[in-house]
A and B are shown apart, each in its own frame.
Chain A
Amino acid sequence: MLEIFTLLANWLSYDVIGLSPDTRLGASVHFFIEDTTKILFLLVAMIYVIALIRASLNLERVRAYIQRRNRFAGYLFGSGFGAITPFCSCSSIPLFLGFTSAGIPLGITMAFLFTSPIINEVAVIMLWGLLGWKFTLAYVVVGMAVGMIGGLLLDTLRGERWLKDFAAKAYQKAAAEVEAGTGTIEVPDAPRLTFSERHQFAKQELAEIVGRIWKWVLIGVGLGAALHGFVPDNWFAANLGSGQWWNVPAAVVAGLPLYSNATGVIPVMESLIMKGLPVGTTLAFCMSTVAASFPEFVMLKQVMTFRLLLLIFVILLANFMVVGWVINLVGPWLMVGH
């Protein structure tokens, strides 16, 4: 069904504009038209449908669900809800404090916050459309693993010692109550919504999300298109060596100063992979760009000491590298059937 966008791009770039598919410009323009039309179509359709379904999911209910889990299920739930719960990054701090003051361990809260920028419906839709389901699945597994392992490490190292005072106190008080069995939050009832309320919610979500990301799609696809047309095939393999161990840390470091959301980076990933950059290296680069962002760290500074921030930073970087190496090992399987 998605071939229709290839045909549309063929017609527009070769017949209407009159470019040749063999030129660099022709290849770039074709890539740009095909990907922007395909992505925007998929986004509009899917965001609406997903929003209909999750209209009744709110943070208060998510928090109550997570609080009831034991520790290890907690990391899975924290990370899983981080992937599916919509929330604006400007709500990170109130969310963090809401979880912490309900006695939810720091690692589980951070599993939520680590995974949230990496996995969301927009990222999944774009990956599926551009790189196929196997790659999408790998991306989701990797994104959740980064969150869960990061959270587990933070708790193992007892990171909560380095929360800012007021947050640490709120956490200890609530954690003691949960332990004693008096502080458990009831799961609030799901709001009963009529279809027209769900439709209203979905319409707002659609307008809000598309309004926020359309320029990222254009920028991301534009960069991807430029790479696609103007970087020779297998340039990465020829210049970086294919999959030497140091490629992965290099990709992570290269991604750090870049700050983008998943929407902007996914079309670039598509191009990088098509040009022969190993899949794990590409993913490590992408995670580093999306999940370790300076604006986020500046926000977290309000509730964490510098020491804790540094610990989180190091854990994230180590995670990205492990992800890169592991995926490079299984990478060839991922691209089969693309």
Chain B
Amino acid sequence: MKLVEVLGTGCAKCVKTAESIERVASELGVDVKVVKETDPARIMEYQVMSTPGVAVDGKVVHSGSIPHREQIVSWLQG
């Protein structure tokens, strides 16, 4: 199972990001756990400066915007 963390201090875009990842995952039938990480100290450890950021299994794959559908598909299937 993949662990997807959405990094952000609670902005509207972070919520949308988490929702769209969950939606794409259920469409593809991929088993994921999506967590919203709002702790500033954790976000700092990931060195993400523009939110929302996305980390898959502990590795940052994206930051600064709501990801496109194709990007999400590639993380989930990669």
The complex places the Cα of A336 from the Cα of B64 at a distance, in Å, of: 43
Tell me whether A63 is interfacial, beta carbon within 8 Å. yes
Which residue of chain B lies nearest to A99 when distances are taken between CB atoms in the complex?
B49
Secondary structure call for the A interface: helix
Min distance, Cβ A208 to any Cβ of chain B, angstroms: 9
- Write the nearest CB–CB distance from B67 to chain A, whole angstroms: 13
For the complex, is A94 an interface residue (Cβ under 8 Å from B)? Answer: yes
* Of the residues B12, B13, B40, contact of A94 by C-beta under 8 Å: B40
Closest Cβ–Cβ distance, residue A292 to chain B (whole Å): 20
Instruction: Judge whether B51 is part of the interface by a CB distance below 8 angstroms.
Output: yes
**Residues A166 and B48 in contact, CB atoms below 8 Å apart:** no
Sorting the interface of chain A by its residue count into under 10, 10 to 19, 20 to 34 or 35 or more gives 20 to 34
Q: Are A302 and B40 in contact (CB under 8 A)?
A: yes
Q: A58-B64, A299-B9, A302-B9 are in contact. Are A91 and B50 (CB under 8 A)?
A: yes
Which of B10, B11, B41: most chain A CB closer than 10 A?
B41
Selected from A60, A88, A95, the residue in CB contact (under 8 A) with B11 is A88
In the complex, whether B43 has a CB less than 8 A from a CB of chain A is yes
**Selected contact of B49 from candidates A90, A94, A303, CB within 8 Å:** A94
Distance of A97 Cα from B45 Cα, bound (Å): 9
- Which residues of chain B have C-beta atoms less than 8 A from A58's C-beta? 50, 64
With both beta carbons as reference points, the residue of chain A lying nearest to B44 in the complex is identified as A97
Bound form: Cα–Cα A100–B43 in Å: 13
Q: Can you spell out 18 A-B residue pairs with CB atoms less than 8 angstroms apart? A: A59-B49, A59-B50, A59-B64, A63-B49, A90-B8, A90-B12, A91-B11, A91-B49, A93-B9, A94-B8, A94-B43, A94-B50, A94-B51, A95-B49, A97-B40, A98-B48, A166-B44, A302-B40
5 additional contacts (CB under 8 A) given A59-B49, A59-B64, A166-B41: A94-B50, A95-B49, A97-B44, A299-B9, A302-B9
